[in-house]
Amino acid sequence: MTLPLRRLLLALALALVGVVSARAQTHQGLELVQAELVADTTGIAPGRPFTVGLRLRMAKDWHTYWKYAGDFGLPTEIQWDLPAGFKAGTIQWPLPDRQVTGGDIVTFGYDGEVLLMTEITPPANVPGGPVTIQAKASWLVCKESCVPGEADLKITLPVSTGGAELANAELFAKHRAQLPRTFGPAAGFSVSRTIAPKEIVFEFSGLQPGEAKSLDFYPLPPDASVVIGDPIVERSAGSARVRIPLQSESAATDQITGVVAFDRANHRQGWQIPVAAFAPPRVAAAITASAAQTQAPGGSLFYFLCLGFLGGLILNVMPCVLPVLSLKIFSFIQQAGEAPRRVFRLGLTYCAGIFTWFLGLAILLVALRAAGNEVGYAVQFQNPFFIVGLCAVVFVFALNLLGVFEIILPGEMQGKLAGATSREGYGGAYFQGLLVTVLATSCTAPLLGAALGFALSQPGPIVLLMFAAVALGMASPVLLLTARPGWMKYLPRPGAWMVRVKQITGFVLLATVLWLLWIVGQMRGVDAIIWCGALLLGLAIAAWLFGAFVTPVSVPSTRRKALVAIVLILLAVGFVSIHEIAGTEKAAGPISAVSSDPKAIAWENFTPARLDAAVGEGRPVFIDFTADWCVNCKFNERTALETDAVRAALRDRGFLALKGDWTRNDPDITRILKKFQRAGVPLYLVYPAGGGAPQVLPELLTKQIVLDALQAAAPAKTNSQKITLTERPAGAR
């Protein structure tokens, strides 16, 4: 049966049953479709867009249709009835399923449940009182037979001038994850198209084997004049070919696009292929030139090695390493007056800890990349169990500094080394070097992002060499100071005051533990914080038992009982806590609820599709790629971004503010970081109004840097003066 005939029969069938469509939703006593409107917010904030979704829940084995139904079927339609001043966007269609019936009838639709989302934008001034959003929805639901249905739906939301909270977060997060993105360089694969007299062929290359194997294609004809057959997918290793028969001649054939979908990062992802992806040669060359402008400046290997060395040097003064670096300064004071040879050996041991971590991290990244993963600097901080382990180590270190327990050598060894018990050992020096470097990887110092971004695009030996250069830069101050112990005479002399400094340092490390606990909560929720706290409580009890009963003067039987108790406590608390933390999972949703501050930055969650849509509209865009464990990111937010002057500039100049969260691994963000030759966050991009290459801002921001970039990207319409810290936009506080 030809496709035009199938569509004619469908039209006749619908004409016959259309008069009873409202009753036909009940079939043999079964309710075929349950329809309702749901919102992603508990209230409407004037001028702030929110999303309303048409939720359709179909009976078992029944299905509704995608925006292009295929050989048979009709797409769901929504007619909005909105209050004055409200505007509705287009339907956001999640990825469909390919369905084959009757042997050769291919359709595209949804089984079980679907949420068709639409962005609603309220006016800046909304009268008080509740607001009712109404819509008339119509659909076609099919099994062996088809039944059209419709419903008049409404949802009422209060006006919330003081801020609103998220609603239905899990439902919206689930279906937003199924929305196709707009194809671009961040997709990680290539596509080409060939138009022949009888067919159109899409070629996909640069795919991973698992991606090619699971690939499917959902075509999108531009209008009814273009009649196509069922897409035929031919898969091979690393590539796929999609053939679509052309069953009619039309001038709009070159406007045929579609959505490609395959399995990536353990879930199905899709990309809508725009017509611009198949631009004529001149246009394609212009697009390529624009993309080339976004790349970091090139340079020789020696140039990037120097950047890596300087970046590692600057890491010593970054806020993430200061808590542990204070321990090293404390040990320098202890070492003043000791034998120069011993001081130098301790310095070398400390540096060995730095090199061990950086080279180990380099080997891990090379191995992950060889396995086909998208990787970046500080990838270990995206694992919540690494954060929990680091939290435990820092906590035990703090307990030691606070005097809860000490490692004391017994017997004759204690007597022989009595004079050395106050001095730092080689194990302590190595561990300090290791720990300070672990914490340092949560920061990206100036110059370091470009250096490591270059490294991660190079072969394995270059990656190791670059990370070694960073390690040398970070270790060089300690290496120089211990090589010339005479310089330590400028440090304070050892004395009783050092006991208090040691205890204060312990409290500084406890503050670091609080920061790590906050990160655990952001990644896994409040329950994870409770269970991580239980783990720390068990460690504290074990440390107290060790300090109180495992001493040289303790009775041997007491020491044995204490050690058994310590082991049992650690095993029990460790097993239960890790098991419970593994069972927690914070749902990935939008960045935050609507802020109660009307002048706050209206952040939206970053997606490639949202960025492409805004750039296509000519709107200026500011993007903040961040992570909860990134200390630099939080510093920039407090001192530069979340300030009155920057907020006013973003609002008054019409910027779309997007925030990309890299706390947990996000392959899209990883690919964008790689595109801009950055190894990690922070990354700040400013896209100008009217399109064009984005400006990449430095890792450390000031208000003036941000304001200058915003003015260059979107000059004010009413005032061409440069914004400075003393010339704030009207209305800014």
Q: What is the pLDDT of residue 634?
A: 84
Q: Does pLDDT of 242 surpass 60?
A: yes
State how far the Cα of 527 lies from the Cα of 540, in Å rounded to an integer. Answer: 20
Q: What is the pLDDT of residue 261?
A: 95
Domain boundary among 225, 260, 290: 290
Q: What is the pLDDT of residue 197?
A: 78
Do 580 and 527 form a contact (C-beta atoms < 8 A)?
Answer: yes
Distances 31 to 58, 75, 111, 113 between C-alpha atoms, Å: 8, 20, 15, 14
Q: What is the pLDDT of residue 729?
A: 38
State how far the Cα of 93 lies from the Cα of 473, in Å rounded to an integer. Answer: 50
Q: What is the pLDDT of residue 220?
A: 92
Residue 69 lies in a domain: yes
**Same domain assignment for residues 228 and 86:** no
State how far the Cα of 329 lies from the Cα of 335, in Å rounded to an integer. Answer: 10
Count of residues making up the chain? 733
CB atoms closer than 10 angstroms to residue 616:
12
**Same domain assignment for residues 172 and 24:** yes
Q: What is the CATH number of the domain that holds 198?
A: 2.60.40.1230
**Same domain assignment for residues 349 and 463:** yes
**Same domain assignment for residues 469 and 320:** yes
Check whether the bond before 682 is cis (ω within 30° of 0).
yes
> How confident is the prediction for the chain on average, in pLDDT?
78
Averaged pLDDT for residues 239-248? 88
Report which of residues 287 and 265 the model is more confident about: 265
Q: What is the pLDDT of residue 409?
A: 44
Query: In a 3-state reduction of DSSP, which class is residue 277?
Result: helix
Report which of residues 53 and 363 the model is more confident about: 53
Residue 457 lies in a domain: yes
Residue 657 lies in a domain: yes
**Same domain assignment for residues 202 and 316:** no
**Same domain assignment for residues 70 and 202:** no
Tell me the CB-side half-sphere exposure of residue 706, using CA atoms within 13 A: 28
State how far the Cα of 151 lies from the Cα of 79, in Å rounded to an integer. Answer: 11
Least confident residue range of 130-134, 186-190, 221-225, 418-422: 418-422
Q: What is the pLDDT of residue 282?
A: 35
Residue 267 lies in a domain: yes
Rounded to 5 degrees, what are φ and ψ at 379?
Answer: -60, -30
Q: What is the pLDDT of residue 285?
A: 35
Q: What is the pTM of this model?
A: 0.46
Residue 527 lies in a domain: no
Q: What is the CATH number of the domain that holds 162?
A: 2.60.40.1250
Q: What is the pLDDT of residue 534?
A: 93
**Same domain assignment for residues 475 and 326:** yes
Q: pLDDT tens-digit profile of 297-306?
A: 445 678 778 8
Least confident residue range of 42-46, 401-405, 535-539, 724-728: 724-728
Q: Does pLDDT of 545 surpass 90?
A: yes
Q: What is the CATH number of the domain that holds 643?
A: 3.40.30.10
Residue 338 lies in a domain: yes
Report which of residues 137 and 184 the model is more confident about: 137
Least confident residue range of 6-20, 72-86, 264-278, 482-496: 6-20
**Same domain assignment for residues 379 and 271:** no
Contacts with 287 (C-beta within 8 Å, 6 or more apart), sequence order: 276, 279
| Number of domains within the chain | 4
Q: What is the pLDDT of residue 697?
A: 92
Residue 394 lies in a domain: no
Q: Does pLDDT of 251 surpass 70?
A: no
Q: What is the pLDDT of residue 51?
A: 94
Q: Does pLDDT of 723 surpass 50?
A: no
Distances 81 to 132, 139, 148, 624 between C-alpha atoms, Å: 9, 18, 21, 36
Beta strands in 630-721 (DSSP E): 656-661, 683-687, 695-697
**Same domain assignment for residues 481 and 341:** yes
**Same domain assignment for residues 207 and 174:** no
Residue 554 lies in a domain: no
State how far the Cα of 325 lies from the Cα of 644, in Å rounded to an integer. Answer: 34
Domain boundary among 260, 290, 320: 290
Report which of residues 290 and 511 the model is more confident about: 511
Domain holding 358, by residue range, is: 300-383+407-498
Q: What is the pLDDT of residue 259?
A: 95
Provide the 8-state DSSP code for 110: E
Domain boundary among 464, 498, 532: 498
Q: What is the pLDDT of residue 444?
A: 57
Q: Does pLDDT of 269 surpass 50?
A: yes
- pLDDT class of 252 with cuts at 50, 70, 90: confident
**Same domain assignment for residues 323 and 461:** yes
Q: pLDDT tens-digit profile of 576-596?
A: 998 888 877 654 444 443 444
Do 54 and 137 form a contact (C-beta atoms < 8 A)?
Answer: yes
Percent of the chain with pLDDT strictly greater than 70: 75
**Same domain assignment for residues 153 and 186:** no
Q: Which amino acid is at 699?
A: E
- pLDDT class of 730 with cuts at 50, 70, 90: very low
In 294-339, which ranges are continuous DSSP H helix? 301-315, 322-335
Q: pLDDT tens-digit profile of 48-85?
A: 899 999 999 999 889 999 999 988 889 999 999 999 99
State how far the Cα of 99 lies from the Cα of 62, in Å rounded to an integer. Answer: 11
